[in-house]
């Protein structure tokens, strides 16, 4: 390698470049489609596998590679882990800090990541929460159809 340019960055030419596609369109998948329809209805689905455990969200195949059956997940939901976020993706300070956590229903073995609408000083691991859905006309079948979780 020609290392004769060590430390001399001013005569290296750089070339700016933009992103490579306009947008990505992601399909929900086989069970994702069922989950989407359920979310628009205000329900959350999980999948029960052959070992009797329920996983949420439903993923089309189980850890043992077979298929499971779709069941509705009713809760109660509890906060399993959480963190408090003060800055957005670009490093700008948020007006109000946001609590983000993994919220697990009692009738499933894992949880989903979502926003907790509560005062950061008042949240604790194990606190009971309840999902709050957006108004029916605003739901599109995505995870943000649940606006946030709030203390039950």
Partner 1 sequence: MGMVTNLFVKDRVAIVGAGITTFMRRALETSRELAWEAARMALDQAGLTLKDVDCVVIGSAPDTFDGVHLKGEYLADGSGAIRKPMTRVFVGGGTGVFVPVSAWWHVASGLCKTVLAVGEEKMSPAHPHPQYVFRYIWDPIIHRPLEPNLIWIFAMEMRRYMAKCGAKKEDIALVSVKNKRNALDNPAAQVAANITVDDVLKSEVLVWPVQELDVSPVTDGAAALVITSENVARQVTDSPVWIEGVGFTLDNQHWENRELAFPRYLNYAARMAYRMAGIERPWKEIDVAEPYDPFDYKELHHIEGLMLARPCEAWKLLKEGYFNRDGELPTSPSGGLLGVGNPIAAAGVMKVAELFWQLRYEAGKRQVKRPVHRAVANAWGDLMQAGTVIVLGN
Partner 2 sequence: MSVTKLPGTKLSSKEMYSLPGLVESAPQAKYDFSAGPTISRFLQGLKEGKILGRKCPRCGRIYVPPRDYCEYCHVALTDWVEVPDTGTVHTAVVSYISVRRERLEKPEVIGVIRLDVPGYPPNSYEFAGLFHRLCVPPEEAMSDEVIGMKVRARWKPKEQRTGSILDIECFEPVR
Q: Which of 39, 54, 99, 118 binds partner 2 (CB under 8 A)?
A: 39
Here's the x/- map for partner 1, 55-94, by CB under 8 A: it reads as ----xxx-xxx-----------------------------
Select the binding partner of residue 137 from partner 1, partner 2, none (C-beta < 5 to 8 A, by kind): none
Name residues whose C-beta falls within 8 Å of residue 108's C-beta, 6 or more positions apart in sequence. 46, 53, 54, 55, 56, 73
Q: Which of 74, 122, 130, 140 binds partner 2 (CB under 8 A)?
A: 140
Question: Is residue 137 within the footprint of partner 1 (CB under 8 A)?
Answer: no
- H/E run at residue 94: strand 93-105
* Residue among 76, 80, 78, 98 at smallest CA distance from 89: 98
Give dist(CA 92, CA 51) in Å, integer.
46
Q: Which of residues 4-43 bind partner 1 (CB under 8 A)?
A: 13, 15, 17, 20-30, 32-33
């Amino acid at each position: 390698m020609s290392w004769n340019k060590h430390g001399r960055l001013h005569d290296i030419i750089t070339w700016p470049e933009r992103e490579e596609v306009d947008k990505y369109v992601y399909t929900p998948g086989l069970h994702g489609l069922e989950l989407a329809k359920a979310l628009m209805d205000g329900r959350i689905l999980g999948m029960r596998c052959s070992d009797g455990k329920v996983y949420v969200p439903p993923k089309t195949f189980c850890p043992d590679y077979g298929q499971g059956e779709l069941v509705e997940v009713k809760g109660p939901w509890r906060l399993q882990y959480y963190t408090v976020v003060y800055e957005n993706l670009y490093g700008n300070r948020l007006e109000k800090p946001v609590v983000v956590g993994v919220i697990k229903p009692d009738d499933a073995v894992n949880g989903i990541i979502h926003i907790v609408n509560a005062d950061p000083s008042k949240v604790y691991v194990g606190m009971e929460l309840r999902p709050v859905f957006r108004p029916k006309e605003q739901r599109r079948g995505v995870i943000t159809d649940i606006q946030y979780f709030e203390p039950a």
